[in-house]
């Protein structure tokens, strides 16, 4: 009880003045990315790119988080240096993930351990080996699952669709079917205490995602990128089905803004304007579910009117 009061008293500064708080578990940072040079327009609305390099993307992302009432975000990728640079811009608001896009190396596993020991590892992910043609059930991933379970840090795995045409645009090993979350089942059997987040909610493999959520009550999902890039009716259908099957307590908000900071507000808007969500369901998805999964007691009084901080 004393601990709880202490935590509530030390509420995060990022909550100040925010009535409808949001937590974004799916953010990226970049050193270099070909999309900056190519000036790729926003894939959601077709508008011209606004952040033209990694530094502008970092400051633009922080500004977008602040203005959208995102009181906490997890940055995972593509490099620790760019993650750290973004986190340094707003360390109260941002926490560190740990991106991996292949079989984990011993050096990466050791770095995860040392970051965890230093209190700098909120999540492992985005784990995106699918882009390199690696399946969820590849035995070489075993040390990664074991570490996530041992450290009790949520691990967020890219599962589902990559960008349309990705196999011809730099990821020749990518296979869409490898994103089917059903092949995470044996991993969950072997590691029952692992805290798994299925990124992109396994989109478009809805049935297999529902099956996994049903059978494994510890599994969470986010709808990153689907929530601002895919056509709205498809997003609504997918989210509504997840709600219909009763998984409203295990959906997290993630934007997956990539090189377009404005994607954050666009993604939040879709949840705020979804007529099939009650206010309580919306708050669970945008905020409560992540507070519970990550154990962020400094955020528990966030958005509560009349609460002195
Ligand atoms: Zn992804």
CATH assignment at residue 147: 3.20.20.140
pLDDT digits (tens, 9 = 90+) for 33-47: 999 999 999 999 999
Q: What is the mean pLDDT of residues 283-292?
A: 98
Ligand 1 centroid to 134 CA: how many Å?
14
**Whether pLDDT at 100 is above 90:** yes
**Whether pLDDT at 164 is above 90:** no
Under DSSP, the state recorded for 91 is T
Give domain status of residue 12, yes or no.
no
Ligand 1 centroid to 301 CA: how many Å?
31
Half-sphere exposure of 77 (CA within 13 A, CB side): 24
Q: Which domain holds residue 280?
A: 21-299
Give domain status of residue 5, yes or no.
no
Phi-psi region of 167 (alpha: psi -120 to 50; beta: other; left: phi over 0): alpha
Give domain status of residue 107, yes or no.
yes
pLDDT digits (tens, 9 = 90+) for 232-264: 999 999 999 999 999 999 999 999 999 999 999
Q: What is the mean pLDDT of residues 117-145?
A: 97
Give domain status of residue 220, yes or no.
yes
Give domain status of residue 62, yes or no.
yes
Ligand 1 centroid to 128 CA: how many Å?
6
Token pair recorded at residue 115: 């970051």
The pTM for the full model equals 0.94
**Whether pLDDT at 9 is above 60:** no
Torsion angles phi and psi, residue 202, rounded to 5: 65, 15
Give domain status of residue 306, yes or no.
no
Alpha carbons 11 and 3: distance in angstroms, whole number: 13
Ligand 1 centroid to 159 CA: how many Å?
7
Total domains present in the chain: 1
Token pair recorded at residue 157: 């795995």
Token pair recorded at residue 209: 């995602």
Give domain status of residue 4, yes or no.
no
Q: Which of 69, 92, 67 is nearest to 20 (CA)?
A: 69
Ligand 1 centroid to 2 CA: how many Å?
40
Look at the chain and count its residues.
309
Ligand 1 centroid to 63 CA: how many Å?
22
Ligand 1 centroid to 61 CA: how many Å?
17
Characterize 145-174 residue by residue with b for buried, 16 or more Cβ atoms within 10 angstroms of its Cβ, and e for exposed. bebbbebebbbbbbbbbbeeeebeeebeeb
Give domain status of residue 256, yes or no.
yes
Q: What is the mean pLDDT of residues 105-115?
A: 97
Ligand 1 centroid to 200 CA: how many Å?
6
Phi-psi region of 235 (alpha: psi -120 to 50; beta: other; left: phi over 0): alpha
* 2-6 long-range Cβ contacts below 8 angstroms, 24+ apart: 4/297
The alpha carbon of 165 is separated from its chain's Cα centroid by a whole number of angstroms, namely 23
Ligand 1 centroid to 9 CA: how many Å?
36
Ligand 1 centroid to 214 CA: how many Å?
22
């Amino acid at each position: 009880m004393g601990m709880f009061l202490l935590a509530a008293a030390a509420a995060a500064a990022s909550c100040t003045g925010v009535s409808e708080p949001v937590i974004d578990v799916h953010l990226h940072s970049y050193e270099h990315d070909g999309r900056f040079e190519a000036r790729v327009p926003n894939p959601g609305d077709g508008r011209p790119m606004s952040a033209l390099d990694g530094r502008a993307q970092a400051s633009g992302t922080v500004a977008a988080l602040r203005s959208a009432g995102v009181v906490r975000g997890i940055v995972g990728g593509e490099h620790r240096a760019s993650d750290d640079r973004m986190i340094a811009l707003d360390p109260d608001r941002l926490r560190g993930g740990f991106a991996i896009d292949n079989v984990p190396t011993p050096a990466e596993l050791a770095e995860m351990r040392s970051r965890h020991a230093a209190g700098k590892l909120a999540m492992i992910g985005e784990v995106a080996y699918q882009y390199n043609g690696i399946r969820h059930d590849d035995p070489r991933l075993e040390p990664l699952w074991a570490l996530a379970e041992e450290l009790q840090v949520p691990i967020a795995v890219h599962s589902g669709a990559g960008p349309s045409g990705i196999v011809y645009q730099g990821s020749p090993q990518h296979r869409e079917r490898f994103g089917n979350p059903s092949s995470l089942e044996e991993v969950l059997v072997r590691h029952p205490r692992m805290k798994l987040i299925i990124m992109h909610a396994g989109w478009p493999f809805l049935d297999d995602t529902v099956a996994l959520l049903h059978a494994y009550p510890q599994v969470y999902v986010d709808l990153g990128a689907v929530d601002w890039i895919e056509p709205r009716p498809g997003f609504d259908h997918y989210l509504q089905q997840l709600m219909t099957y009763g998984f409203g307590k295990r959906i997290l908000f993630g934007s997956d803004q990539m090189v377009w900071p404005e994607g954050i507000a666009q993604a939040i808007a879709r949840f705020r304007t979804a007529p099939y969500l009650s206010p309580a369901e919306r708050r669970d998805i945008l905020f409560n579910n992540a507070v519970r999964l990550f154990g962020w007691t400094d955020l528990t009084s966030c958005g509560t009117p009349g609460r002195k901080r």
